[in-house]
Amino acid sequence: MIPAKEKAIELVNKFKLSTGANTKINIYVAKKCAAYTVGTILDEYQSISDLDSTLVVGGQVMSIVDKIIYWEEVKQQIEKL
């Protein structure tokens, strides 16, 4: 699994505009979009009633709780960027 900081950078970079827009505004908007995306992912995981369930992600077995913790870490890293 990609480390949380790298995933945060990857998500923010995907939302950056490739235009000549103001860089500070561009980064601000990209961070907001990335944070919204992570929030949506967290909402989906947290809506699963059986948090003891496991998932297989990239051949690795993980619990729902592990995924929630990972995405919370990504969210924190986005805020630090």
Helix (H, G, I), strand (E, B) or coil at 28: helix
Give me the torsion for CA of 70, 73, 75, 76, rounded to 10°: 180
pTM of this prediction? Answer: 0.84
The answer to whether residues 58 and 1 touch, using CB atoms and an 8 Å cutoff, is yes
> What is the full per-residue pLDDT of the chain (81 aa) written as tens digits?
899 999 999 999 998 876 566 777 788 999 999 999 999 999 998 887 677 777 787 788 888 888 899 999 999 999 999
The answer to whether residues 8 and 70 touch, using CB atoms and an 8 Å cutoff, is no
Alpha-carbon gap, residue 12 to 60, rounded angstroms: 25
Find where tokens 């993980």 sit: 62
